[in-house]
A and B are shown apart, each in its own frame.
Chain A
Amino acid sequence: MIRLFVPRDSFALALDADAVAARITAEARERKLDIVVVRNGSRGLAFLEPLVEVDTPMGRMAYGPVTVADVASLFEAKFHEGGKHPLAHGRTDAIPFLKNQQRLTFARCGLTDPLSLADYQAHGGFAGLAAALKKSPADIVAEVTASGLRGRGGAGFPTGIKWQTVLNAAEPEKYICCNADEGDSGTFADRMLMEGDPFLLIEGMTIAGLAAGAREGFLYIRSEYPQAIATMVRACELAQAAGFLGQSIQGTNHSFSLHVRTGAGAYICGEETAMLESLEGKRGMVRAKPPIPALEGLFGKPTIINNVLSFAAVPDILARGGAAYQALGLGRSRGTLPFQLAGNVKQGGLVELAFGPSLRSLINDFGGGTASGRPIRAVQVGGPLGAYLPEAALDTPLDYEAFAGASAMLGHGGVVVFDDTVDMGLQARFAMEFCAVESCGKCTPCRIGAQRGVEVIDRLRASENPAANLALLKDLCQTMTDASLCAMGGLTPMPVLSALSHFPEDFQPAAKAAE
């Protein structure tokens, strides 16, 4: 029997993977071939999706991007035996894009059937949980602290310190919340992980439950990710039935239950306190801090809130020890970050690397430059609230502190590439417009400031009183930075001011046209 893999990840589904899988099954039946099609996660080579793989004695061979029209010719070329074809890429793990990565969190993603517990365990799954079940809560937290793991959602707060705070809290009732409201443009790693390796997230959250003494967890997934929601709901049912969730986990006296909750299209609910409000069934209005959620979080109880990738990094840390994870990276950025190459890039997808290489190496060596073939003009790193960097800044090392030093942020590791056709004045306007649309409305600098920001940029671009409006825009940005309640209003000036300082010519298109 031949095993073929056609991903069930959204990347592949959005490029007709279901139809490709159906065509392969039908074609195999007509040719009387004994073939089973496994619907795996994505290997992260988005530019080759749908990437069809074949299990051969030489290893897994890759073909892509495959359309329905290619299926017949693939069979003609005996691709099911690893045969040559214009879409063939040889062994999947030898493709440079994949071979040159350091995959820890995404080591299993794409190799397995995401909803097969047997597959998960055969590939090292639940080793971290097994290790954690033998440890005291304090020892679990110590391992996470030793790993140097910092929150992967963007802020980079040390995960061990957060967990320790919740562990120390005296309340009997505590919660674990996973923020899977991955609303930042240019990011898709959370989605890929939930769709491609859901048990890893369940394992990580369960370990957090053991560490903090929490018996209940909530997974908040944005509604724009229906495939991730369906996968996680099913994975929770399977884990529960197999005794990995629920009462007496694996026969111990520990219990942990996990609820999947769906967001409703509000970007602000990616902010942790707005997410808590939303989980409580309210408007997603940001809370003032303090109190910090680690002490007064969901329903007012001590709560560990982490991003999908932070929880997903934990099983490996418990299985192999914090020191092994800490050995990767540089400075205070330890371990690996799953970078996401997006926008106008030739080879987009997921690139997990230890911290340290330059942004240029990521975009050129992995991404292969722009998709349009035109020169790179700007790169936005860290989502809609991240800075726009000019070509000259591409040598910045991928490290939290180095990016902060360049008045930018590494954030969640999303990298959006723009070629030289981009109008940076328009991008700055969009940043303000987006903030105006998505502001929760609680604080004035964000709610009103973003609206005024759009108007000032429009006046600037129409060359109305440029000097006065420029001063006004800078002043407005300062107010938003200093006086907003959360990162939404506080960081919106980052893309605006970075665009203004690196690409000032784009803010006077009228003057430029007159030249």
Chain B
Amino acid sequence: MSQTPASPAVETATAIAQAHGNRPDALLEMLHEIQHRLGFIPEAVIPALAQALNRSRAEVFGVVSFYHDFRRQPAGRHVVRVCRAEACQARGGRETEAALQQHLRLKTGETAPDGSVTLEAVYCLGLCAIGPAVMVDGKLHARAEGKRLATLLTEVAS
């Protein structure tokens, strides 16, 4: 049987690794770029990266699974990250998280069955003086309560 040709995901990963000179210390940078391009880290890229960096599959898999940022499944089309840390708790962060859960009908950490949205926890966005803080698709929102949260919720739903 002939070898299956490399999947587009594997090709992307190999090219990204090569752009970093296949340097093992740049693994996190590579994974960020792969995820940026593909939306997650597909299983198939792990052996490809391992081979490119001359590391074991276990080592590469270990890195992917260690860091909260790296997804092994695609996220929803929108990603809502709500800050759970103390400074936001002191400003009503728990209520904001509950409101998001109720509105999106998701628990924190879940993706909607239709793939529309993912709700995630984040521990500090560095907006601790003007919380509660929420990040929607990479955009920061402070004072996410009351009217501002309501506006945000309508945007997330649309």
Chains A and B form a bound pair: yes
Is the C-beta of B32 less than 8 angstroms from some C-beta in chain A? Answer: yes
Using Cβ atoms and an 8 Å threshold, which residues of chain B touch A183?
A: 123-124
Is the C-beta of A7 less than 8 angstroms from some C-beta in chain B? Answer: no
Which of these binds chain B: A76-84, A164-172, A202-210, A220-228? A220-228
Measured in the bound complex, the distance between the Cα atoms of B27 and A188 in whole Å is 27
Is the C-beta of A343 less than 8 angstroms from some C-beta in chain B? Answer: yes
Within 8 Å by CB of B126, from A191, A341, A434, lies: A191
Measured in the bound complex, the distance between the Cα atoms of B35 and A265 in whole Å is 14
Q: Determine the residue in chain A with the shortest Cβ distance to B125.
A: A224
Using Cβ atoms and an 8 Å threshold, which residues of chain A touch B123?
A: 183, 185, 267, 434, 437-438
- Given A224-B122, A416-B86, A416-B90, A14 and B63 touching (CB < 8 A)? no
Is the C-beta of B138 less than 8 angstroms from some C-beta in chain A? Answer: yes
CB B99 to nearest CB in A, in angstroms, measures 17
Using Cβ atoms and an 8 Å threshold, which residues of chain B touch A264?
A: 28, 31-32, 67-70
Total interface residues in chain A, CB < 8 Å: 58
Is the C-beta of B29 less than 8 angstroms from some C-beta in chain A? Answer: yes
A265 touches B90 (CB 8 A): no
- Given A264-B67, A345-B129, A349-B129, A224 and B29 touching (CB < 8 A)? no
Within 8 Å by CB of A185, from B32, B86, B143, lies: B86
Using Cβ atoms and an 8 Å threshold, which residues of chain B touch A262?
A: 28-29, 32
A280 touches B25 (CB 8 A): yes
- Given A342-B87, A434-B123, A280 and B130 touching (CB < 8 A)? no
Is the C-beta of A284 less than 8 angstroms from some C-beta in chain B? Answer: yes
- Given A265-B68, A279-B25, A416-B86, A15 and B128 touching (CB < 8 A)? no
A14 touches B27 (CB 8 A): no
Within 8 A of B (CB), among A174-210: 182-188, 191
Total interface residues in chain B, CB < 8 Å: 41
Is the C-beta of B15 less than 8 angstroms from some C-beta in chain A? Answer: no
Is the C-beta of A384 less than 8 angstroms from some C-beta in chain B? Answer: yes
Chain A proximity mask over B20-59: 1 for CB below 8 Å, otherwise 0: 0001111111011000000000000000000001000001
CB B150 to nearest CB in A, in angstroms, measures 15
Is the C-beta of A418 less than 8 angstroms from some C-beta in chain B? Answer: yes
Within 8 A of B (CB), among A4-57: 10-11, 13-15, 46-47, 49
Using Cβ atoms and an 8 Å threshold, which residues of chain B touch A191?
A: 126
Within 8 A of A (CB), among B58-94: 59, 62-63, 66-70, 85-91
B130 touches A282 (CB 8 A): no
Using Cβ atoms and an 8 Å threshold, which residues of chain A touch B62?
A: 282-283
Is the C-beta of B140 less than 8 angstroms from some C-beta in chain A? Answer: yes
Using Cβ atoms and an 8 Å threshold, which residues of chain A touch B156?
A: none
B68 touches A186 (CB 8 A): no
Within 8 A of B (CB), among A334-357: 340-345, 348-349
Within 8 A of A (CB), among B128-154: 128-131, 133, 138, 140-143
Q: Determine the residue in chain B with the shortest Cβ distance to A262.
A: B32
Using Cβ atoms and an 8 Å threshold, which residues of chain A touch B53?
A: 281
Using Cβ atoms and an 8 Å threshold, which residues of chain B touch A223?
A: 32, 69
CB A131 to nearest CB in B, in angstroms, measures 32
Q: Determine the residue in chain B with the shortest Cβ distance to A434.
A: B123
B130 touches A11 (CB 8 A): yes
Using Cβ atoms and an 8 Å threshold, which residues of chain B touch A344?
A: 90-91
Is the C-beta of A101 less than 8 angstroms from some C-beta in chain B? Answer: no
Within 8 Å by CB of A182, from B90, B91, B126, lies: B126
Using Cβ atoms and an 8 Å threshold, which residues of chain A touch B130?
A: 11, 14-15, 46-47, 49, 348
B66 touches A225 (CB 8 A): no
Is the C-beta of B16 less than 8 angstroms from some C-beta in chain A? Answer: no
Is the C-beta of A266 less than 8 angstroms from some C-beta in chain B? Answer: yes
Using Cβ atoms and an 8 Å threshold, which residues of chain A touch B106?
A: none
- Given A10-B140, A380-B86, A185 and B26 touching (CB < 8 A)? no
B90 touches A418 (CB 8 A): yes
Is the C-beta of B112 less than 8 angstroms from some C-beta in chain A? Answer: no
A263 touches B28 (CB 8 A): yes
Is the C-beta of B127 less than 8 angstroms from some C-beta in chain A? Answer: yes
Measured in the bound complex, the distance between the Cα atoms of B55 and A280 in whole Å is 12
Is the C-beta of A242 less than 8 angstroms from some C-beta in chain B? Answer: no
Is the C-beta of A327 less than 8 angstroms from some C-beta in chain B? Answer: no
Give the A-binding residues of B (Cβ under 8 A).
23-29, 31-32, 53, 59, 62-63, 66-70, 85-91, 122-131, 133, 138, 140-143
Q: Pull 30 A–B residue pairs with CB atoms less than 8 Å apart, ordered by A.
A: A10-B125, A10-B140, A11-B127, A11-B129, A14-B141, A14-B142, A15-B130, A15-B142, A49-B130, A183-B124, A185-B86, A186-B85, A186-B86, A187-B124, A263-B69, A264-B31, A281-B23, A281-B25, A281-B27, A281-B28, A282-B59, A282-B63, A283-B63, A342-B128, A343-B91, A348-B130, A384-B86, A414-B128, A430-B86, A437-B123
